[in-house]
Amino acid sequence: MLMFISHMLHILAACTSIGGLVYARLVIQPNLSGLPEAFKEALLKKFIARYRLLKWIGVTILGLTGLLQIAVIYPTVEQKKLYTLAFVLKMLFASGLLGITLSLALPHQRFHTIQRNRSFWAAMNICCAIGIVIMTVWMRTIRLNLYL
């Protein structure tokens, strides 16, 4: 039952995080293009502030449930090297996603260049999210011996 709850929370947190990224990039951002720059920045700050708590709760849940799942699942995997490769790639995509998210969200002068090109980096965030999904599916196929 614990693993069922862990899987459900992991999937819910991932859908919320990735869904928020996709919504921001494909719905909010294009609609901001016609607004004056000062108003656009103020609106984006409000969106980010409201989404921040939800995002960090999701990241925390993803981390905790991911550790629990890897601890339980990894010992049962036959192709450990292949599974580990997929896991490492998934973590690289996750690190990219986290780094880009922090760069876009933190109000620091160091990230000003990235924040001015928000559309591009939001698209890169979506690419990282897609990479995570692909690696997750690959890990599952390796674990279940369903080779592609």
Residue 15 located in a structural domain: yes
Contacts by 48-52 with C-beta closer than 8 Å and gap 24+? 48/104, 48/105, 51/20, 51/24, 52/105
| Residue 44 in domain | yes
Higher pLDDT, 108 or 62: 62
Q: Confidence band (pLDDT; 50, 70, 90) for 23?
A: confident
The structural domain count of the chain equals: 1
- Residue 94 confidence (pLDDT): 92
Residue scoring higher pLDDT (51 or 133): 133
pLDDT for 2: 85
Q: Print the domain residue range for 57.
A: 2-143
Does residue 17 fall inside a structural domain?
A: yes
Residue 74 counted as domain residue: yes
Domain assignment present for residue 43? The answer is yes
Entry pTM: 0.79
What's the CA dihedral at 83, 84, 89, 94 to 10 degrees?
A: 100
* Res 121: pLDDT: 86
> What pLDDT, in 10s, does the model give residues 74-90?
999 999 999 999 999 99
CA distance 27 to 141: 33
In-domain check, residue 148: no
